[in-house]
Structure 1
Amino acid sequence: MNGTNEEIDRIQRRLAALREEVGKRIVGQSDVVEQLLVCLLCDGNALIESNPGLGKTTLVRTVAEATDLSFSRIQNTPDLMPADITGTEIIREVNGEREFVFERGPVFANLVLADEINRATPKTQAALLEAMQEKQVTTAGETRELPRPFFVLATQNPIDQEGTYPLPEAQTDRFLLKILVDYPARDEEREIVDRYTTGAPDPAVDRVLSRDGLQRAQQLTRQVPIADDVRDDVIDLVRATRTAEDVEFGASPRASMGLVLAAKARAFLDGRAHVSWEDVEAMAHPVLRHRIIVDFRAEREGVTPDDAVSNLL
């Protein structure tokens, strides 16, 4: 890895501190926190799915506070327009003369929380495509760079809820991970109730990782070595999704790249200098679950994409 042992140790300690800071406000959900931090290290986007009221917004806002990233939130509704996200030109009077000035939308932030993205219309969902993939937006014929680093962390309710628009495959493939947030355990829920019903202020979160530090961590993540046989097993796993019995549509080579990179990030986050197969197993479901579609027969029998990934593993 292109970095001194001292630098690598320092950044890995900062990442461990980041986990602790997030834990000040988020009770439990260790896998969810790990997957979100993996996404940041990979410079990727995440789709976070759960029922309402499980702390998704609090989680993302806390990560922004602890990492010195600018933060914006987009509440998606059926009447939200693309210009409401990217920005628009307005007429403003300057020195007695009127001129067009570009008013930047909420997408111009390091960390963009697109809340309930599947409540926006497909046209508005598509407005995020260029931003997610190219880190830029084009409005009024002009291309504008987005701040770096740039992440879209989108939340969605389960598709079977009323008033939602399923995300098209072209957009879901832009998300590195699909993170599922489940209900807390009983003891965790009791702690949540005790913590947030006493009138005490929210726990303060310290800024433990700078913007430059995060970008350096992203560079080091890509340099984590992976053995050839582990890399080849990842490729074989993704290729197997295209011929599996229960799968109608398998994952693309983007999934192979994403799984290797996510495994590297998990290893780096855990303070290790190499990728193990355990890292691949831990990241396979969040990387693949939104990229494969089970066939009608399997779906009728209750087989989910996660089941298909487990069988392949």
Structure 2
Amino acid sequence: MTDLDHHRDRNHEPSTDDELSVSSVANLCTELEENVARVIVGHDDVVEHVVTAMLGRGHVLLEDVPGVGKTMLARSIATSIDCMFRRVQFTPDLLPSDVTGVNVFNQKTREFEFQPGPVFGNIVLGDEINRAPPKTQSALLEAMEEEQVTVDGDTRELPDPFVVIATQNAVEPNRTYDLPFAELDRFMKKLELGYPEPDEETELLGRTVGGHPIESLEPVTDRETIVRARETVAKVRVEEPVRAYATRLAGYTRENARVGVSPRGTIALLRAAQARAITEHREYVVPTDVKIEAPVVLGHRIRTDDRARDGDRVVEEALERVPVEAERV
């Protein structure tokens, strides 16, 4: 039985000692994307970005207008993996303890017991995250960076893997809150779906008028296999010239914006590039992987004083002007 057969066998409990090959992880990515495409029509590139972010040990922020499928995309990804899925509907009255959990006094044992919040899941959907005030949003800071939660002085580890897929509306500015910059920086990628093309929307209507395909979607892999796939991605080689190129891109943003890309952002860029290389059946990163990932990994980490020149534009400039190879002195 091959590695790929292992993740298809629902009764197989994979050992952490079994290493998935690059080819089997690439095939797993394809299988996940094709499964999600049964629900999400016309956004294959966005689906691929979400899958590679997950395998690159990152979190994803989906921002767009209401009704284009942000929440459904997150649900489809979660449903495609047999793991713990938790959902948090962010509202203005949501408290931090509603996310992380709270200690509750047990009258029978006369002791406090910890009741875990929805953050204790493998894939956590933060729906409309910008409807909650910054204090509640910041409840995710420790979880997203350190994969742990501290409540009343006690620190508890989160399940492995732990992935946050958050959605936020790009409209109703008077009824939403801006995400703290420190939280934005913890999202590996910020993605937009956009409206479907006419033929895509027609196909979508045909799929959903009678009943929604999400209801019949089945898992194609499990938690253990995702953990092993992540280990394979982490071993993808990133040679010094590629690391130096990523550093020069980050340096350009710091020199040409009020707030440039942090080292955390550069790490996220290379982790995303590692996952991108896997999808091409490669065990090493090339500059093209970095270029493909840079726009969705770096743009939201940049702040400028020019409204006409936002972070996305700074990244475009960096990709145009920063040479792949260092100039010889």
Same fold per superposition (TM over 0.5):
yes
CA distance in 2, matches of 1:70, 1:126: 22
2:76 pairs with 1:62 = yes
Letter of the 1:292 partner, please give it: I
CA distance in 2, matches of 1:212, 1:200: 28
Please give the secondary structure, in 2, of the residue aligned with 1:19. helix
* TM-score, normalised relative to structure 2: 0.87
2:311 pairs with 1:305 = yes
Q: Kindly state the Cα deviation for residue 6 of structure 1 after the two structures are TM-superposed.
A: 7.5
Relative to structure 1, the CA distance from residue 70 to residue 6 in structure 2 (aligned partners, 3 Å threshold; closer, same or farther) is closer
* TM-score, normalised relative to structure 1: 0.91
Q: State the match for 2:194 in structure 1.
A: 182
Q: Calculate percent identity across the aligned residue pairs.
A: 43
Please give the secondary structure, in 1, of the residue aligned with 2:300. coil
Please give the secondary structure, in 2, of the residue aligned with 1:16. helix
Q: State the match for 1:83 in structure 2.
A: 97
Q: 1:283 aligns with which of 293, 296, 301?
A: 293
Relative to structure 1, the CA distance from residue 200 to residue 311 in structure 2 (aligned partners, 3 Å threshold; closer, same or farther) is closer
Q: What are the Cα deviations for residues 45-81 of structure 1, in whole angstroms up to 9, with x where unaligned?
A: 1111111111111111111121112111111111100
Letter of the 2:241 partner, please give it: D
Letter of the 1:124 partner, please give it: T
2:235 pairs with 1:229 = no
CA distance in 1, matches of 2:240, 2:154: 43
Q: 2:67 aligns with which of 28, 53, 56?
A: 53
Please give the secondary structure, in 1, of the residue aligned with 2:221. coil
8 Å CA contact 1:11–1:213 kept in 2: the answer is no
CA distance in 2, matches of 1:276, 1:100: 53
Q: State the match for 1:218 in structure 2.
A: 230
CA distance in 2, matches of 1:5, 1:139: 35
Please give the secondary structure, in 1, of the residue aligned with 2:288. helix
2:263 pairs with 1:257 = no
Q: Kindly state the Cα deviation for residue 92 of structure 1 after the two structures are TM-superposed.
A: 3.2
CA distance in 1, matches of 2:156, 2:61: 24
Relative to structure 1, the CA distance from residue 90 to residue 200 in structure 2 (aligned partners, 3 Å threshold; closer, same or farther) is closer
Residues paired across the two proteins, number: 303
CA distance in 1, matches of 2:302, 2:26: 33
Extract unaligned runs of 5+ from structure 2. Answer: 1-16, 320-329
8 Å CA contact 1:159–1:165 kept in 2: the answer is no
8 Å CA contact 2:20–2:229 kept in 1: the answer is no
Q: What are the Cα deviations for residues 145-187 of structure 1, in whole angstroms up to 9, with x where unaligned?
A: 1111111111111276221111121111111111122111111
2:135 pairs with 1:123 = yes
CA distance in 1, matches of 2:113, 2:174: 39
Relative to structure 1, the CA distance from residue 210 to residue 253 in structure 2 (aligned partners, 3 Å threshold; closer, same or farther) is same
Letter of the 1:311 partner, please give it: E
Q: 1:266 aligns with which of 276, 289, 297?
A: 276
Extract unaligned runs of 5+ from structure 1. Answer: none
